[in-house]
Amino acid sequence: MSEIQRAKLILKILNKTYPKIVVPLKSRNVFTLLVSVLLSAQCTDVNVNNVTKNIYPKFYKPKHFVKLGRKKIEKLIKKIGIFRVKAKSIYHLSKILIDKYNGKVPRTFEELENLPGVGHKTASVVMSQGFGYPAFPVDTHIHRLAQRWGLTNGKNVVQTEQDLKKLFPKKNWNKLHLQIIYYGREYCKARECFGISCKICTSCYPKRKKPIKTKKA
């Protein structure tokens, strides 16, 4: 089975398994989506949502976070990993949004990636989920699954993103990256499936007997 054939099969299984998809991170607007994605680094979506549900009703604009200041932001997000680093990024990017973009979140990858604490993956999520622009955010989980499913031999998330974009139609990207995340959490877990038990793995590689090792991003 070729990569293209595997991609078509995977897309079919994912669309059947998850015909409708819900964005896992709760947000009030594009700015709070940006903050939530930044907070989600090395942290679960559930934990982020539990913290932000007490923040966003009151604080949902850059000016709110600038007025709070770094120390108060730290107190609000202290249950999240590396909260001091994230608080610093949120404070400074809020100032930049006010000073440079009139309090609005910019709509280009380049401008987003120039904001403190915002990498390509975070920018991709904001572009796709916030603005509806075709993007394919790839994190370590998608990187692992793409290798396991024979869609890439990428040594890093950059190469994996490029490979996935070539294999799947652009119209599917925004929904597909979430479908892959949900499927990985539910059926193709790192320490349960090992590439030999879930429907996608057994469909793509029916003769695979040994657990597959994947390269870390």
Question: pLDDT tens across 108-136, in order?
Answer: 999 999 999 999 999 999 999 999 999 99
Distance of CA 63 to the CA centre of its chain: 26
The residue-averaged pLDDT of 74-78 equals 97
d(CA 195, CA 148) in angstroms, rounded, equals 6
Task: Quote the pLDDT of residue 209.
Answer: 92
Question: Average pLDDT for residues 15-40, to the nearest whole number?
Answer: 96
Angle between helices 140-148 and 157-167 (to 10 degrees): 60
Least Cα distance to 179 among 14, 45, 16 occurs for 14
Q: C-alpha distances in angstroms, 3 versus 10, 108, 166?
A: 10, 31, 10
- Residue-averaged pLDDT of the chain: 95
- Separation of CA 107 from chain center: 17
Residue type, 34: L
Q: Where are the alpha helices (DSSP H) in 168-208?
A: 173-186, 199-204
Assess contact for 68 and 88: CB atoms under 8 A.
Answer: no
pLDDT, tens digit (0-9, with 9 covering 90-100), for 42-66: 899 999 999 999 999 999 999 999 9
Q: What is the DSSP string of 13-40?
A: HHHHH-SS---SS--SSHHHHHHHHHHT
Q: What is the pLDDT of residue 63?
A: 98
- Give kind and range of the element (H or E) at residue 6: helix 3-17
**pLDDT at 19 (0 to 100):** 96
Domains, the chain: 3-21+136-204 (1.10.1670.10), 30-130 (1.10.340.30)
pLDDT given at position 213: 83
Closest Cα partner for 196 from 212, 216, 214, 215? 212
Which amino acid is it at 50?
N
Residues 6+ apart with CB under 8 A from 171: 134
Residues annotated as catalytic (active site), given as ranges: 121, 139
User: DSSP character for 135?
Assistant: -
The span from the CA of 109 to the CA of 81, in Å, is 25
Which residue's structure tokens are 């679960």?
44
Write down the pLDDT at residue 154.
80
Q: pLDDT, tens digit, for every residue of 160-192?
A: 999 999 999 999 999 999 999 999 999 999 889
Res 42: pLDDT: 86
- Assessment of whether the complete model's pTM goes beyond 0.85: yes
For residue 195, pLDDT beyond 80:
yes
Tokens at 169, concatenated: 């139609």
